[in-house]
Amino acid sequence: MAEIITVANRKGGVGKTTTTLNLAYSLKELGKKVFVIDLDPQANLTRCFGIENANELTETIGHLLMAELEEENYLAKGYILSYDGIDFIPSSIYLSVTETQMKAETGSERILSSILEPIREQYDYILIDTSPSLNILTINALCASDSVLITADTQLFAIVGISELLKTIQKIKKRVNASLKVKGILLTMCDNRTNLSKLLTQQVEEMYQGKVEVFQTKIPKTVKVGESIYSGQSIKKYAKGSSVDIAYDNLAKEICYE
């Protein structure tokens, strides 16, 4: 039975998509069966799974959520693609249409849960990449998940974002998903050469010690990430063995063997 992990932070550009993508590859390398859902209409992750023309697709997560919302007959299998041995459901701009529709319906926070329930037994891990907002889509992801992995870069505002997200997680636990856990805080874009980065890393560790797990693995800041995303590839394909590739492998090990 898969563990479902949502990658989230309300702040934009803190490594959510990069982490979802590269963690999926590293988990796969450990022999895990991985399924990835792009739950962001920006569809950045979808591009890294070899899809250039996401907005022309008619079988995306937006369409699948809409089918469940409208109680249509559908086969979830028909929406699942496979790339480099990783299963995934792409996103497109159509997901914002679905989001508007979901906002208008009561009880729509469990739509993604209903879709994943029959699928989850086929995988070891299901990773969900979310957009930088706590909209109904992210709430759906948090309702469907066992845990949430919070990415934060070592900038002050990303750290403020963590406490906001933790408050929302408390509310979600109370209202809709009592078993939701915080998997951990992952510090991304760490630059050990700058004092500020070092200081903020230390601050996060002290602030959450004994309360929320902060992953031992820190993701280093390197231009290779930008280059790999630009070329639509995972770091494992673009720069295998690089420091950031090894970091994501270590994160996968922390997650599998915690």
Ligand X SMILES: Nc1ncnc2c1ncn2[C@@H]1O[C@H](COP(=O)(O)OP(=O)(O)OP(=O)(O)O)[C@@H](O)[C@H]1O
Which positions lie near ligand X, rule CB under 6 A? 12-18, 40, 42, 44, 131-132, 188-189, 219, 221-222, 225-226, 229, 244
Q: Is residue 6 involved in binding Mg ion (CB under 5 A)?
A: no
- Minimum CB distance to ligand X smaller for 74 or for 83: 83
- Minimum CB distance to Mg ion smaller for 13 or for 176: 13
Using CB under 5 A as the binding rule, the residues of this chain from 237 to 256 that contact Mg ion are none
Q: What is the per-residue burial (b if ≥16 Cβ within 10 Å, else e) of 161-200?
A: bbeebbebbeebeeebbeebbbbbbbbbbbeeeeeebeeb
Q: Which strand ranges, in their side-by-side order, compose the sheet holding 181-188? A: 81-83, 86-89, 34-39, 125-130, 3-8, 147-153, 181-188
- Minimum CB distance to ligand X smaller for 115 or for 247: 247
Q: Is residue 218 involved in binding Mg ion (CB under 5 A)?
A: no
Is 103 within 8 Å of 111 (Cβ atoms)?
A: no
- Minimum CB distance to ligand X smaller for 111 or for 149: 149
Q: Is residue 9 involved in binding Mg ion (CB under 5 A)?
A: no
The minimum distance between CB 9 and Mg ion, in angstroms, equals: 10
Q: How many CB atoms lie within 10 A of CB 105?
A: 12
Contact partner, 138, from Mg ion, ligand X, none, Cβ < 5-8 Å per class: none
User: Using the 8-state DSSP alphabet, how is residue 78 labeled?
Assistant: G
Ramachandran quadrant class, 38 (left: phi over 0; alpha: psi -120 to 50; beta: rest):
beta
**Sole window of 10-18, 60-68, 157-165, 226-234 interacting with Mg ion (rule: CB under 5 A):** 10-18
- Minimum CB distance to ligand X smaller for 67 or for 182: 182
Query: What backbone torsions phi and psi does residue 113 show, to the nearest 5 degrees?
Result: -55, -45
Contact partner, 222, from Mg ion, ligand X, none, Cβ < 5-8 Å per class: ligand X
Best CA proximity match to 2, nearest among 24, 21, 29: 24
Work out which of 16, 32, 47, 236 binds Mg ion, going by CB under 5 A: 16
Within 13 Å of residue 1, how many CA atoms lie on the same side as its CB? 4
The minimum distance between CB 218 and ligand X, in angstroms, equals: 9
The minimum distance between CB 10 and Mg ion, in angstroms, equals: 12
Dmax of the chain from CA atoms?
Answer: 56
Residue numbers at the binding site for Mg ion (CB under 5 A):
16-17
